[in-house]
Amino acid sequence: MFKKLFFSTFVLLALFVSANAQTYGNWSGILHTQSVAVTENGNPDFHNFTQKIQEYLIQNYKGKYIRLITYVVKKGHRYTVSIKFPQDGIERSMEFIGYNPFISKGFFISYQNKNVKGKYMLKRVNFSNSPESDYDRVVIVVSTYKPSSPFYLRIQYPAVPDNVVDAAQINPAEPDVGKFYWGNVVKEPILMK
């Protein structure tokens, strides 16, 4: 009993410290460098999260390289998440989940990646955290099939207006292409349970 209580307290403290260590508006850094495949014993971050997240990762991310991070996203507020990665041909995905991903309502983004040396991809998504959420922290699962794959992200508040994100515009990563749609708006708020 004491062991379970201690572990639960440790998990909550680890999530709290991780969430509050993020800075809005700054790239969070390389997420996948020296990651390991998701296994029950292999991932150093694996046991720092709740059992429901562990079960979810085993079911949905087996054989992938992942990184888990948390951000504070206040209930009822709107945010813009920007992702940036080199055009190295390696597909990357990002999923926003709650502490119990089986009943939370998040969202998933996956991008096919070009292979153009010296170029990078830049995408952005607007989302909000539902006022009905139980808490104001979201867990982000960044995944790929190859290790040491750089992946940068930032969460911006206040959000870029939806009509700007959802419009054809010049993408700073590909200015020579002209205007195109490189943003997305998640209409339904995420629900953290």
Q: What is the pTM of this model?
A: 0.74
CATH code of residue 111: 2.60.120
Domain enclosing residue 43, as ranges: 2-185
- The answer on pLDDT for 22 being more than 70 is no
CA dist., res. 82 & res. 159, Å (int):
11
> Is 193 contained in some domain?
no
Average pLDDT over residues 39-57: 65
Provide the pLDDT for residue 37.
54
> Is 191 contained in some domain?
no
* 51 CB-near residues (< 8 Å, 6+ apart): none
Reading the block at residue 134, the tokens are 């139980």
> Is 173 contained in some domain?
yes
* Tens of pLDDT, residues 74-107: 999 999 998 888 888 888 888 999 988 999 999 8
> Is 190 contained in some domain?
no
Phi, psi at residue 53, to the nearest 5°?
Answer: -65, -40
In the chain, how many domains are there? 1
N- to C-terminal Cα separation, the chain: 24
Reading the block at residue 128, the tokens are 């909000």
CA dist., res. 103 & res. 164, Å (int):
31
Phi, psi at residue 115, to the nearest 5°?
Answer: -125, 85
Reading the block at residue 35, the tokens are 């990651």
Report helix, strand or coil for 46: helix
Question: 186: phi > 0 → left, psi -120 to 50 → alpha, else beta; which?
Answer: beta
> Is 132 contained in some domain?
yes
